[in-house]
Homo-oligomer: A and B are copies of this chain.
Amino acid sequence: MDKAKKNTVIHAAAECMAANYKSSQIPMYGDALRMPNRNAVIEIIRDCQKLIFPVYYGDRDLLKLPPEQYSALLMEHIHEKLTRQITLTMPECDENCEVAYAISTAFIERIPAIQELLLKDLSANFEGDPAAYSKEEVLLSYPGMFAIFIYRIAHELYENKVAMIPRMMSEYAHSQTGIDINPGAKIGEYFFIDHGTGVVVGETTIIGDNVKLYQGATLGALSPAGMATNPNVRRHPKVGNNVVIYANSTLLGGATEIGDNVVVGGNAFLTSSVAPNTVVSVKNPEMTFRGKHHRG
C-alpha cells in the first residue's frame, strides 16, 4: 500500500478541487445555496396520491377519520411542505414568503378539479387497454397513469410560474416510467398512454381531449437548438380531439397541427399538418426478404 502516494495525491487533488469550486460559473461551495429538495418534492407527490386516491395510497389509521378531516389534514401537510419548497426556489424570499404561501393556497384550491381530471384519465387508461383487468390495477401498476398523475400536479405549478419543482416532478416520473411529459404541455381530458417507454411531450405541446399515445410517440421540436429566442412561439405540435398516435411515431414542430379524429399509424414521421378525420399510415418500408440456409 503506497499510503504516502495516496496522501500526496489527495492533498494535491483537494487543492485543485477547492480552486475549481471557486472559479466555477455556478455556485459550488458554501452553505448559502437555497434550492428545493428532490426528496421533499417526491414526498409532496406521495401526499397528493394519498389525498386524491385515499384507499389506494393512504395510511390505514388516517383512513378511519371522516373523509373531510382526512383530506383537510393532508391538504394542511401539502400546503406546508409546498410553501417551504417553493420558498426555496425564490432567492429573494425569507422563510415567511407570501408569494409561495399564496401559490400553495391556489394549488390546494385546484386539487378537486385535478382529481376529477385524473378520474377521467383513469377511465381512459382502463378502457383503452384490452389487457387491463380493472381500474384498480391500472391505478396501482400502470406507468402511463402514474406519469399522467404527476403531469397534472406539475402542470398546475408550472402554470403558477413555480421554478424547478415542476421539472423535478416530471423527471421523477420520467425516471420511473420512461415517459417524459414536460410540465408546460397543455393536455385535455381522458388522456391515455400505453406502455409509454420513450414517449416525449415537449414544453409547448397542446393536446386535446380523448387522445391516446403509444410507446415511443414523440411530440417534439424541429432543431430545438437555438429556438429559445422567442419564448412565445410554439415549438411543438398541436393535437386535436379524439386522436390516436401509435408506437414510435414522431411529430415535430410548432407548425404541425393534427386535426380532430386523426389516427397516426406506427412509425410515422410528420413535420407538417394533418387534416381532421384522416388516417395516416406509413407504407411498410421497403424490405428485402432473403432466404438463407438453402439446401439441396
* Chain A residues within 8 Å of B, Cβ to Cβ: 1-2, 5-6, 9-18, 20-22, 24-33, 35, 38, 51, 53-56, 60, 63-64, 66-72, 75-76, 79, 96, 98, 101-102, 104-105, 108-109, 111-112, 115-116, 119, 122-123, 128-131, 133-137, 139-143, 163-164, 167-168, 171, 174-178, 180, 182, 184, 194-195, 197-198, 200, 202-203, 212, 214-216, 218, 220-221, 224-228, 235, 244, 247-248, 250, 252, 261, 263, 266-271, 274-275, 277-293
Contact = CB atoms under 8 A, between A and B. Distances in A.
B71 A18 contact: yes
Nearest to A52: B17
Counting every copy of the chain, the complex holds 3
B14 A68 contact: yes
Given A101-B2, A216-B248, A280-B289, A72 B9 contact: no
- SS of A interface (majority): mixed
8 contacts: A2-B105, A9-B105, A13-B109, A20-B119, A25-B135, A38-B141, A141-B171, A270-B284
B140 A164 contact: yes
